[in-house]
Amino acid sequence: MRILRDVYIIGAGETRYGELWERSLRELAVEAGLRAIENAGVYSRDVEILYGSNSLAGIINGQENIGSLISDFAGIAHNNIPAVRVEASSASGGAALREAYLAIKSGEYDLIMVGGVEKMTDIYGNELLNMMGSILDREWESFFGATPAAMAAIVARKYMKDFNVEKEALSMMSINDHENASKNPMAQYKNKLTLKQAMGATNVAEPLTLMDCSPITDGASAILLASDRYMKKNKLEGAMVLGSGISQDYFAVHNRESIYTLNSAKIAAREALKKAGKKLDDISLVELHDSYSIYGLLELEDLGFAEKGKAKHLVYEDIKAGGRIPVNTSGGLKAKGYPLGAVGISQAVEAYEQVMGKAGQRQLKSVDSVLLHNMAGTGSTSVVHVIGGE
Amino acid sequence: MGELSRFWRESDHRYRLVAHKCGNCDRVYFPPRDVCPTCHRESVGKMEPIDLSGKGEVVSYTVVHEAPTPFTRQKPYILAIIKLDEGPSLTGQIVDSDPEEVDMGKRVHSVFRKVAEDGKSGIIQYGYKFVLD
């Protein structure tokens, strides 16, 4: 028997993103969850299972078993509602969304909460960089002094040389993120960024400067996923999860045949678009995983919006909110923020709000479908979702 | 970060660049792997140790300014992906040169160096770095 069940995002909520010194891991998670519950118009006791996504709580906050923690403080452990954590580094959120999507699709559940949380400022400065090293291959990259920024920088240098790309093109990704985040009340940075500021910022890993690198962010985002049956029975509305794709590449950058090709993104996007029955032309908005500006360009190419080496032609006009392929109306990872394990859900919140016409000042005129790309580390895992109207 | 056995068990690979060669397709892998990603089960039990020359060329590089705590004393340092003559690529530092002298495509060879130390009383970690030919 073929099970045909459509899956909808029926509500979304999140905390403000930023350096939230006074807020704890559990407080952030619960706040986002409660806002999503309220937004969807359901009750938390009706949720059948919670999928939590998080990347580094084990080493940053000294806390594992996050599913139990959040379920308890959300008050639903009292109702014996199960909770698990999905971990795929900075793609944890996308992976959790996909697991929940499959669980509803399979017919097992009708209402699921998916929440992502990362509380990063419990560890300071260079010590946090040690922990970020666990996103890479600890023994064969980080051991020798690699950081996520350093690996992105190595990729950027070769890319810029092979395709004659100026540093300015990378900065344009960050400038676009900041421009869009200035209209997002939840964003970490609402200041606009000038080219001079972006180019002149301090070096992190050459050729990348501080303004090519996403910040350290505390934050949580949550959505409620429901089956079409549940949604209609309760007279709710939602944005449909039209397609989902996931793929993998070699873990360490040095093992990939081309260091500036994100194979995982290519394959996951192809899969998600095919399942959604959509073409790139149907995509009204792309939320990219631009943890480092260079990845924004690589993703535009590997998701299919430009040929390899040609994304530089899109970053000046096309990616703007009013452009041909709007990118990161949320403010993206650079300016909305980069709470590792929450990113995939943060993107889903933006998709939901844009599709439902709830994006306030950021609202795009007509939205068919939104493509979300959530990536682990340097591109080892990619999760792509296509969200749209019916 | 980490205990002695975590570093000790990789000594052959980090001190002498011992790799694995697939007995089925002859591809060389560094770090060693128990399964060849091309031959899968055909390779099981056929992955043989092989010494690498340590010679290769710079694929790309960066100069790291924001460094994790074990490396803060070394910054700024040059980190590169090196393609070795036997086929595999790896990530390591380029030392004894100024960043201006390093470039993509330049030839390098491996040297045995101290990589990092775990505070004042922790383990001193050794391994390969690279210098320009």
Residues A152-174 have pLDDT tens digits of 999 999 999 999 999 999 999 99
Can you give the pLDDT at residue B3?
A: 78
CB A11 within 8 A of CB A115: no
Closest partner residue to B65 among A127, A133, A203, by Cβ? A203
Encoded tokens for A12 = 């979304």
Helix (H) or strand (E) holding B56: strand B55-64
Q: Which residue in A106, A85, A113, A342 sits closest to A244, CA to CA?
A: A106
Residues B6-57 have pLDDT tens digits of 889 999 999 999 999 999 999 999 999 999 999 999 999 999 999 999 999 9
Q: What is the DSSP letter of A332?
A: I
Contact B31 A140 (CB under 8 A): yes
> Average model confidence (pLDDT) for chain A?
97
**Main-chain dihedrals φ then ψ at residue A304, nearest 5 degrees:** 115, 0
Q: Which residue in A338, A300, A379 sits closest to A141, CA to CA?
A: A379
Residue B38 sits in the same domain as residue B97: no
CB B79 within 8 A of CB B95: no
Q: Does A129 touch chain B (CB under 8 A)?
A: yes
Encoded tokens for A25 = 């891991």
Q: Does A126 touch chain B (CB under 8 A)?
A: yes
Residue B36 sits in the same domain as residue B84: no
The ipTM estimated for the assembled molecules is 0.97
Is the per-residue pLDDT at B122 higher than 90? no
Contact B90 A208 (CB under 8 A): no
Locus of tokens 């000790």: B8
Chain A: residue nearest B83 by CA?
A254
- Multiple choice CATH, A7-123+217-240, 2.60.120.260, 1.20.120.530, 3.40.47.10, 3.50.50.60: 3.40.47.10
Locus of tokens 């930023």: A18
Q: How many CB pairs under 8 A join A and B?
A: 109
Can you give the pLDDT at residue A40?
A: 98
Residues A253-283 have pLDDT tens digits of 999 999 999 999 999 999 999 999 999 999 9
Owning domain of residue B36: 18-51
Residue B121 sits in the same domain as residue B97: yes
Closest partner residue to A141 among B74, B91, B127, by Cβ? B91
CA distance B130 to A242: 49
CATH classification (class only), A128-216+242-388: alpha beta
Residue B62 sits in the same domain as residue B39: no
What is the number of structural domains in chain B? 2
CA distance A146 to B3: 20
Closest partner residue to A144 among B1, B66, B91, by Cβ? B91
Contact B60 A157 (CB under 8 A): yes
Domain ranges of chain A: 7-123+217-240, 128-216+242-388
CATH number of the domain to which B87 belongs: 2.40.50.840
Can you give the pLDDT at residue A334?
A: 98
Residue B57 sits in the same domain as residue B111: yes
Cα–Cα distances in angstroms (integers) from residue A26 to residues A41, A64, A308, in the given order: 23, 12, 42
> Average model confidence (pLDDT) for chain B?
95
Residues A74-104 have pLDDT tens digits of 999 999 999 999 999 999 999 999 999 999 9
Can you give the pLDDT at residue A3?
A: 58
Residue B126 sits in the same domain as residue B80: yes
Q: What is the DSSP letter of A132?
A: H
For A55-59, what is the mean pLDDT? Answer: 97
Can you give the pLDDT at residue B2?
A: 59
Q: Tell me the helices (H) and strands (E) count for chain B, helix number first.
A: 2, 8
Q: Does A142 touch chain B (CB under 8 A)?
A: yes
For A238-249, what is the mean pLDDT? Answer: 98
Residue B109 sits in the same domain as residue B58: yes
pTM: 0.97
Q: Does A259 touch chain B (CB under 8 A)?
A: yes
Residue B36 sits in the same domain as residue B57: no
Q: Which parts of chain A are beta strand (E)?
A: 7-14, 49-53, 83-86, 111-118, 203-205, 208-209, 219-227, 239-248, 283-287, 369-376, 381-388
CB A381 within 8 A of CB A88: yes
Q: Does B35 touch chain A (CB under 8 A)?
A: no
Partners of B62 on chain A (C-beta within 8 Å) are 150, 153-154, 157, 205-208
Contact B62 A254 (CB under 8 A): no
Residue B75 sits in the same domain as residue B64: yes
Residue B73 sits in the same domain as residue B122: yes
Can you give the pLDDT at residue B121?
A: 86
Residue B40 sits in the same domain as residue B103: no
Residue B114 sits in the same domain as residue B127: yes
Instruction: Examine domains A7-123+217-240 and A128-216+242-388 and report if their fold is the same.
Output: yes
Is the per-residue pLDDT at A296 higher than 80? yes
